[in-house]
Amino acid sequence: MASKKLLELMNKGVSRELQVAIQYMWQHVRATGVETAAVAGILRGIAVAEMKHAESIADRIDYLGGEVTTQPTPITVGKNLREMLRLDKKAEEEAITLYKETIKLADAEGDITTRELFEGILGDEEDHHNQFKTLLGE
């Protein structure tokens, strides 16, 4: 079974996924301005993907006998579209760092299924990060 440290990292992932699912969805709703039409659909789509990540991680924690958190990390919506996208880019950078650490620990513990789950999610997070960078013109 998974170590306490691995379960903690996985629960951090659930908290983060809940945070960004809510954050991106509220941004989708609250964003205003001429650029919003193009960006709102992207935010909504990514929010849905993040909720699916939370579910996948929660299922794995439950399988491993852990207790799944229901608490998101702090949600920051932002005041305008550019600020929202900067916050979102930062959130994805934090996820990438967390998931690389989770993958490394799962691999060290011989937990191939958890490693593969997080490798797939990591690929999605890198794509989301790239989308936010592109929207910011970076």
Residues 111 and 64: their CA atoms lie apart, in Å, by: 10
Q: Say what the pLDDT of residue 21 is.
A: 97
pTM as predicted: 0.95
Tell me how many degrees the CA angle 76-77-82 measures, rounded to the nearest 5. 115
Helix (H, G, I), strand (E, B) or coil at 80: coil
Compute and round to an integer the Cα radius of gyration of the chain: 15
Q: What pLDDT, in 10s, does the model give residues 1-19?
A: 899 999 999 999 999 999 9
Percent of the chain clearing pLDDT 90 (strictly above): 93
Where do the structural domains in the chain lie, given as residue ranges?
A: 4-135
Q: Say what the pLDDT of residue 33 is.
A: 80
Q: How would residue 136 be classed by pLDDT, with cut points 50, 70 and 90?
A: very high
Q: How would residue 35 be classed by pLDDT, with cut points 50, 70 and 90?
A: confident
Q: Do 105 and 9 touch, CB atoms closer than 8 A?
A: yes
Residues 9 and 123: their CA atoms lie apart, in Å, by: 18
Output the average pLDDT for the chain. 96
Q: Do 35 and 136 touch, CB atoms closer than 8 A?
A: no
Q: Do 68 and 2 touch, CB atoms closer than 8 A?
A: no
Q: Please state which of the four CATH numbers 1.20.1260.10, 3.40.50.300, 3.30.420.40, 3.50.50.60 is assigned to the domain occupying 4-135.
A: 1.20.1260.10
